């Protein structure tokens, strides 16, 4: 046993309470099952011993529980991270084999009646009154989470709850894996020049590079002569729809995209129905009318009515504008195409939107790319963080083992040079092994030990930006720059926390509909002159981004704002209907497809195609954390727009005032994490409760 543990890097890492960085160079898929199989019995044994001798104290019901759970959660966190960024058949098999046991063990911990009673007794004890504000929030959240984990269930209901949790975890993993496989299974190989007419040089280079990788030959493709491999990967799919002059190919790609993972062995539709049924049953077991009502127990939004009110206000502001925008775009397309009867379809809107934007604002995404080389963008991003928050970010490549050679490692220090945190940056798209999208996750949370020493937080920042090709660095679209700022905002909240209890440090214990506040806040700086001119330099000449071009970027910020907002409201309303109406109300009987059609009728200006199976790829709500919570993007955007308005009111050119506000933002939103309710944290920064007005103004939706 001892020798086996010594040779298992994952197990050794999980068992070290101080923990450095994960030894990614040594962790292998065949270590997962033996490591987890050894950690789980130890967790249950330690839990049973604690339950027998439990004292009603912060140390026993919080600190000891954290200590005994952490080895398993750390090991499983590494496995889950690798599943997202370095997926393989062997890792999938190991994950799938152990997931039911991990779910069962964690639920056994969450459902511990002695611990729950201990928490309740602590909450009404004299010691509770002496705890600080963060500790009180941790205790109250632990009580709530135990109740949501079914601590009050007995007998058959308890067993059924465990069975539901196991199956839901397995279904979420299957959903994600099948979507990854469906994306990977589709490609168009184009060989004729007319098939790539209109495609910009960066896309030709990237798709030729993809063709070379697929063929295994370094000389099998070139940007000028092809072949070119077109995939559903975001850095390819989006630009192809925007630029391809071949309407038939745009249609083919679009139809493939909205029918991903919806047929054959990779069909996610049965999984969706089962997930929704299980969520309904879970909510009912816990005494909630709907899954959405259950979800709100751990959200900032006070009620279902409050969520629906926000979506209604945004729909009312955005939908008429979106209709007018479609009419305007149709007229533009008819004039430019010479087809007076042209009817815009889904694969036409991105193409003609880009043409109209180019004409109206006289710049293209491709014109901007040379000014946004990733290395320079990172320098500017870090300089902005230094300016606003008084921190230093320095490259520390080689100081940590990584899962892919393109992954970088950075350390974060305060103004005096004292280390505060670190992060991994995985910037590029790898559709064969890495899921799409962008996200931040915790590698390690901040924690203070009994001897006074602190474990510093470490974050994973993951994007799917354009890969370097033909000797050039990654030349980013402006949207990719915004995405990088967004994920870095999440990372800042995780890394700059000053809370010493892991349960409330950084993003931990932050209500889900408030967690997007720092990320969306950081996006605003992409439209700030002082920020953009630090990072926008031509990658070959060093020329600064011309002022006139930046002015056009700012002017175009709210281009088709009604359409963009309506899209987000549609997705949020669809998520909400599936978790608050479907299976609960007779009017919503039928299928998820029927629900999608009904919601689309109220929230879109272009009816989805009959074969649209977008839900089969909606991983946010079926394989991520946004079930009955997609509205969180807009809820948090109210907070982020209002927070940024403090800076615009002060005057973005008033350096002293901006720095003071930046430090206050760090000392509140970025520092306090989940130690206080988000409304208290926001008010500590802004001096009042949030208003929706700044968001409507920022989005160009005020009358």
Instruction: Reduce the DSSP state of residue 419 to 3 states and report it.
Output: strand
Dihedral of CA 303/306/312/314: which sign? negative
Candidate list 487, 503, 523, 637, residue with the active-site label: 487
CA pair distance 233, 256, nearest whole angstrom: 12
Would you say 416 and 422 are in contact if contact means Cβ atoms under 8 Å apart?
no
CA 284 to chain centre: 28
Question: Nearest CA to 179 among 121, 233, 102, 119?
Answer: 233
Note the residue count of the chain.
703
Query: How many Cβ atoms are within 10 Å of 417's Cβ, its own excluded?
Result: 8
Which residue in this structure is represented by tokens 């007018």? 324
Phi and psi at 265, nearest 5°, equal: -70, -20
Verify whether residue 487 is a known catalytic residue. Answer: yes
User: Can you read off the two tokens belonging to residue 45?
Assistant: 């044994």
H or E stretch covering 74: helix 65-85
The enclosing H or E element of 595 equals helix 592-603
Strands (E), 371-518: 391-395, 408-414, 419-428, 439-444, 447-448, 454-455, 458-465
Rounded Cα gap, residues 244 and 249, in angstroms: 8
C-alpha separations of 2 from 6, 12, 30 in Å:
6, 11, 17
Name the DSSP letter for residue 437: S
In which region does residue 651 sit, left (phi positive, over 0), alpha (psi from -120 to 50) or beta (all else)? left
Q: How far is CA 204 from CA 209, 210, 430, 474, 475, in A?
A: 8, 10, 17, 14, 13
442 strand-pairing partners:
459
DSSP reduced 3-state for 299: coil
Torsion region of 524: left, alpha or beta (phi above 0 gives left; psi -120 to 50 gives alpha): alpha
Residue 11: both structure tokens together: 């197990």
| 263, 186 contact by CB (below 8 A) | no
What's the CA gap between 699 and 641, in Å, rounded? 9
The answer to whether 699 touches 561, Cβ cutoff 8 Å, is yes
Compute the Cα dihedral for 239, 245, 250, 253 and give only its sign.
negative
Name which of 576, 584, 617, 575 is nearest 277 in CA terms.
Answer: 584
How far is CA 658 from each of CA 319, 349, 492, 643, 649, rounded to the nearest angstrom? Answer: 35, 39, 18, 12, 10
Q: Cβ distance 507 to 495 under 8 Å?
A: no
From the CB of residue 313, how many other CB atoms can be counted at a distance below 10 Å?
17
User: Which ranges of 86-230 does DSSP label H, i.e. alpha helix?
Assistant: 89-110, 113-123, 126-130, 133-148, 155-185, 201-215
Catalytic residues, by residue number, are 487
């Amino acid at each position: 046993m001892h020798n086996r543990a010594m040779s298992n890097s994952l197990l050794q890492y999980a068992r070290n309470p101080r923990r450095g960085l994960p030894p990614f160079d040594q962790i292998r898929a065949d270590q997962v099952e033996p490591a987890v199989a050894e950690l789980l019995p130890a967790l249950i044994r330690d839990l049973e011993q604690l339950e027998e001798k439990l004292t009603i104290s912060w140390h026993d019901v919080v600190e000891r529980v954290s200590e005994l759970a952490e080895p398993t959660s750390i090991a499983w966190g590494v496995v889950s991270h690798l599943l997202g960024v370095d997926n393989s058949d062997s890792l999938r098999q190991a994950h799938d084999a152990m997931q039911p046991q991990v779910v069962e063990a964690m639920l056994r911990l969450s459902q511990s009646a002695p611990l729950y009673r201990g928490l309740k007794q602590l909450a009404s004890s004299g010691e509770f009154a002496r705890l600080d504000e963060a500790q009180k929030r941790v205790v109250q959240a632990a009580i709530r989470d135990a109740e949501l984990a079914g601590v009050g269930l007995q007998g058959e209901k308890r067993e059924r709850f465990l069975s539901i949790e196991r199956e839901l975890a397995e279904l979420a993993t299957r959903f994600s894996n099948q979507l990854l496989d469906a994306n990977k299974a589709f490609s168009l190989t184009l060989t004729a020049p007319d098939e790539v007419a209109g495609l910009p040089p960066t896309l030709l280079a990237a798709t030729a590079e993809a063709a070379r990788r697929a063929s295994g030959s370094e000389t099998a493709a070139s940007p000028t002569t092809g072949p070119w491999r077109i995939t559903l990967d975001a850095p390819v799919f989006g630009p192809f729809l925007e630029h391809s002059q071949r309407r038939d190919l745009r249609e083919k790609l679009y139809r493939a995209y909205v029918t991903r993972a919806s047929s054959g062995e990779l069909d996610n539709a049965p999984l969706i129905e089962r997930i929704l049924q299980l969520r309904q049953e879970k909510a009912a077991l816990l005494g909630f009318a709907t899954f959405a009502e259950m979800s709100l127990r751990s959200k900032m939004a006070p009620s279902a009515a409050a969520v629906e009110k926000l979506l209604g206000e945004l729909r009312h502001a955005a939908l008429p504008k979106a209709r007018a925008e479609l009419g305007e775009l149709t007229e533009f397309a008819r004039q430019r195409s010479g087809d007076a009867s042209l009817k815009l379809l889904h694969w036409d809107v991105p193409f003609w939107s880009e043409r109209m934007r180019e004409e109206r604002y006289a710049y293209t995404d491709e014109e901007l790319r040379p000014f946004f080389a990733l290395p320079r963008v990172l320098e500017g991003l870090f300089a902005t963080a230094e300016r606003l928050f008084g921190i230093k970010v320095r490259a520390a490549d080689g100081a940590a083992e990584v899962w892919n050679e393109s992954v970088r490692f950075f350390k974060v220090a305060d103004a005096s040079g004292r280390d505060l945190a670190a992060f991994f940056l995985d910037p590029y798209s790898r559709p064969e092994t890495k899921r799409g999208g962008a996200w931040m996750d915790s590698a390690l949370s901040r924690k203070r030990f009994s001897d006074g020493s602190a474990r510093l937080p470490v974050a994973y920042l993951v994007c799917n930006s354009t890969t370097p090709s033909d000797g050039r660095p990654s030349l980013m679209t402006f949207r990719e720059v915004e995405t990088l700022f967004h994920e870095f905002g999440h990372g800042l909240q995780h890394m700059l926390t000053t809370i010493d209890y892991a349960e409330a440090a950084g993003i931990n214990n932050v209500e889900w509909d408030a967690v997007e506040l720092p990320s969306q806040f950081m996006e605003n700086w992409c439209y700030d002159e002082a920020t953009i001119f630090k990072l926008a330099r031509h990658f070959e000449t060093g020329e600064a981004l011309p002022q006139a071009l930046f002015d056009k970027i700012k002017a175009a910020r709210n281009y088709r704002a009604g359409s963009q907002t309506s899209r987000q409201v549609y997705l949020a309303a669809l998520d909400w209907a599936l978790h608050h109406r479907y299976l609960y109300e007779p009017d919503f009987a039928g299928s998820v497809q029927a629900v999608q059609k009904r919601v689309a009728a109220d929230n879109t200006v272009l009816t989805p195609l009959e074969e649209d199976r977008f839900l089969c790829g909606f991983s946010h709500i079926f394989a991520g954390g946004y079930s009955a919570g997609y509205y969180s993007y807009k809820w948090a955007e109210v907070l982020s727009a209002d927070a940024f308005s403090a800076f615009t009111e002060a005057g973005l050119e008033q350096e002293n005032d901006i720095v003071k506000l930046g430090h206050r933002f760090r000392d509140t939103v970025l520092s306090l994490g989940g130690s206080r309710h988000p409304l208290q944290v926001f008010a500590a920064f802004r001096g009042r409760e949030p208003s929706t007005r700044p968001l409507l103004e920022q989005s160009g939706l005020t009358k």
